[in-house]
Amino acid sequence: MGARIVMGAAFLVFGLNGFAHFLPAAEPPPKAAAFLGALASTGYMIPLISGTQVMSGALLIGGVTVPLALVLIAPVLVNILCFHLFLDPAGIGPGLVLAVCWVILMRAYWPKLRALLG
């Protein structure tokens, strides 16, 4: 339950921040800034990513359809890890924590996910 709450809270807060911009942001490295600028310039990617985070975070916190939340958030989590691995390695810590939480939850919910992913 701890991994579910930690992961849910993180994605809910950071997803809401994508809409309301209430958390201070550090200046990213140039390539990371260019990538984020490209996402923002589409006009839809940031709201899509943020909306997915909010929805998945709420489902995780509520304990409602956790397997669905894990499947929905997986591509976002992969991109968070790749973004930090290739563009901003110094900020990878929180992404690694969330990845560990995701693995823990996938193992816990595997019986429900097996038919979908197995």
Please tell me the distance from the alpha carbon of residue 23 to that of residue 104, in angstroms, as a whole number: 28
Please tell me the distance from the alpha carbon of residue 81 to that of residue 92, in angstroms, as a whole number: 7
Q: Note whether residue 42 is domain-resident.
A: yes
Please tell me the distance from the alpha carbon of residue 3 to that of residue 69, in angstroms, as a whole number: 13
95 is in which domain, residue-wise?
2-19+29-117
pLDDT in the model for residue 55: 98
pLDDT in the model for residue 115: 86
Q: Note whether residue 24 is domain-resident.
A: no
Q: Note whether residue 113 is domain-resident.
A: yes
pLDDT in the model for residue 116: 80
pLDDT in the model for residue 1: 82
pLDDT in tens, 50-107: 999 999 999 999 998 999 999 999 999 999 999 999 999 999 999 999 999 999 999 9
Q: Note whether residue 66 is domain-resident.
A: yes
Q: Note whether residue 49 is domain-resident.
A: yes
Quote the number of domains for the chain: 1
